[in-house]
């Protein structure tokens, strides 16, 4: 509660805006995203464990005195797991609230390569987990006591999507996420928001337009491959993956040019090591190649013109995507802030 109030203070907002385009703000956003994912991933993992333990206890309600020596009472274990889950959820909600404030106040900070990708993966993942189909799978009696508040979660996710909907790089990362992105999932949470009146109509309409935009981007990604194929200039090729680069950078330690997103992923996973000569390589050692990037973008735009001519489509018709669906949330969706 205290942090939520602090985040809305004028001093905090001014500090964020004053520090735009700084490495400090970029690192801060990275920590928020990492912490948010850590706390919620542990929470959802605990949901499954708690559900399994409850089912085991129902099928084998052995009295505590009959347990083998040294083994904890199953009821006590479940309560411990619930307490841990509550803590993770509390911390996760704080970070989710902070993420929403950040995308509202400094949305352009989320259109850089690494931040856009990480944000897209996270919002897609939790949109998927909060969809009615997935929620039905891990829901158990008493889950509302842990403080998940699924309807508030859905409302916040929709507001995050609408806050970053004009960021083209991030939107492309959303549809490139093969693990969690699904048009059906976004329509599902949109339908829940529509039925439960979770967000204002203008937000819901904007979310609907974003889904249409993502559908178009997804189709572009599929069809553009037919236009581009594997034929592109050697100098546009990532030295790490041999794929077409979008944001080329030169490694100070080996002078190899690679795509930023691939080398940053390497550093995150394998540590600060240049994969070409095993010397120390930090993210600050990645040297942007603006001229090469401009050449790639010009080449891509020429391909896009061919694409638009070949796959020209009529604009999508106006109308709601969201339909009434069965309510799987029941009383679990309490909207109290708590």
What mean pLDDT do residues 150-168 have?
Answer: 95
What mean pLDDT do residues 3-9 have?
Answer: 62
pTM, entire model: 0.77
Question: Is 66 in contact with 123 (CB distance < 8 Å)?
Answer: no
Lowest mean pLDDT among 229-238, 276-285, 321-330: 321-330
Q: How confident is the model at residue 62 (pLDDT cuts 50, 70, 90)?
A: low
Model confidence at 337: pLDDT above 50: no
Q: Is 270 exposed, middle or buried (0-12, 13-18, 19+ CB in 10 A)?
A: exposed
Question: Is 230 in contact with 221 (CB distance < 8 Å)?
Answer: no
CA distance 113 to 246: 9
What's the Cα-to-Cα distance from 329 to each of 29, 75, 333, rounded to whole Å? Answer: 31, 25, 6
Model confidence at 72: pLDDT above 80: no
Model confidence at 124: pLDDT above 80: yes
Q: How confident is the model at residue 220 (pLDDT cuts 50, 70, 90)?
A: confident
Q: Please tell me the predicted confidence (pLDDT) of residue 336.
A: 43
Query: How many CB atoms sit inside 10 A of residue 242's CB?
Result: 9
Model confidence at 211: pLDDT above 90: yes
Q: Which of 30-39, 48-57, 58-67, 298-307 has the highest mean pLDDT?
A: 30-39
SS3 284: helix
The mean predicted confidence, pLDDT, of the chain is 85
Model confidence at 2: pLDDT above 60: no
Q: Please tell me the predicted confidence (pLDDT) of residue 91.
A: 94
Q: How confident is the model at residue 313 (pLDDT cuts 50, 70, 90)?
A: low
Query: How many CB atoms sit inside 10 A of residue 257's CB?
Result: 20
CA distance 169 to 319: 26
Q: Please tell me the predicted confidence (pLDDT) of residue 331.
A: 61
Q: Is 179 exposed, middle or buried (0-12, 13-18, 19+ CB in 10 A)?
A: exposed
Closest C-alpha to 190, from 198, 202, 179, 182: 198
What pLDDT, in 10s, does the model give residues 8-52?
A: 677 777 777 777 778 888 888 989 999 999 999 999 999 888 988
What pLDDT, in 10s, does the model give residues 225-260?
A: 777 776 788 999 999 988 889 899 999 999 999 999
What percentage of the chain exceeds 90 in pLDDT? Answer: 48
Q: Please tell me the predicted confidence (pLDDT) of residue 32.
A: 94
Model confidence at 299: pLDDT above 80: yes
Q: How confident is the model at residue 309 (pLDDT cuts 50, 70, 90)?
A: confident
Q: How confident is the model at residue 158 (pLDDT cuts 50, 70, 90)?
A: very high
Model confidence at 156: pLDDT above 90: yes
What mean pLDDT do residues 121-138 have?
Answer: 93
Alpha carbon 281 to its chain centroid, in Å, reads 27
Instruction: Indicate the length of the chain as a whole number.
Output: 338
* Residue 154 dihedral angles phi and psi, to the nearest 5°: -60, -45
Lowest mean pLDDT among 43-52, 191-200, 283-292, 307-316: 307-316
Q: Please tell me the predicted confidence (pLDDT) of residue 338.
A: 36
Q: How confident is the model at residue 137 (pLDDT cuts 50, 70, 90)?
A: confident
* Residue 72 dihedral angles phi and psi, to the nearest 5°: -70, 150
What mean pLDDT do residues 133-147 have?
Answer: 86
């Amino acid at each position: 509660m205290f942090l939520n109030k602090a985040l809305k203070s004028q001093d905090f907002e001014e500090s964020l805006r004053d520090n735009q385009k700084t490495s400090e703000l970029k690192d801060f956003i990275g920590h928020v995203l990492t912490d948010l994912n850590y706390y919620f991933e542990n929470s959802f993992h605990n949901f499954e464990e708690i559900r399994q333990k409850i089912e085991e206890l129902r099928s084998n309600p052995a009295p505590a005195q009959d347990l083998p020596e040294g083994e904890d009472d199953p009821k006590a274990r479940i309560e411990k797991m619930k307490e841990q889950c509550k803590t993770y959820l509390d911390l996760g909600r704080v970070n989710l609230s902070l993420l929403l404030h950040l995308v509202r106040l400094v949305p352009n900070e989320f259109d850089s390569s690494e931040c856009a990708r990480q944000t897209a993966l996270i919002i897609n993942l939790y949109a998927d987990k909060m969809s009615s189909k997935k929620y039905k799978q891990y829901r158990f009696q008493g889950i509302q006591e842990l403080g998940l508040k699924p309807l508030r979660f859905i409302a916040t996710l929709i507001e995050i999507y609408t806050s970053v909907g004009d960021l083209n790089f991030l939107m492309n990362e959303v549809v490139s996420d093969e693990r969690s992105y699904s048009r059906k999932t976004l329509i599902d949470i949109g339908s829940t928001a529509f039925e439960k009146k979770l967000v204002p109509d203008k937000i819901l309409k904007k979310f609907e337009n974003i889904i249409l935009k993502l559908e178009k981007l997804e189709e572009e990604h599929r069809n553009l491959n037919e236009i581009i194929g594997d034929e592109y200039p050697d100098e546009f090729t990532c030295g790490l993956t041999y794929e077409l680069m979008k944001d080329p950078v030169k490694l100070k330690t080996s002078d190899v040019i690679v795509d930023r997103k691939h080398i940053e992923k390497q550093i995150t996973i394998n540590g600060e090591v240049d994969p070409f000569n095993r010397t120390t390589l930090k993210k600050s050692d990645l040297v942007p190649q603006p001229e090469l990037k401009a050449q790639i973008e010009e080449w891509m735009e020429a391909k896009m013109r061919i694409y638009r001519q070949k796959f020209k489509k009529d604009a999508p018709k106006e109308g709601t995507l969201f339909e009434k669906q069965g309510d799987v949330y029941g009383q679990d969706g309490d909207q109290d802030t708590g």
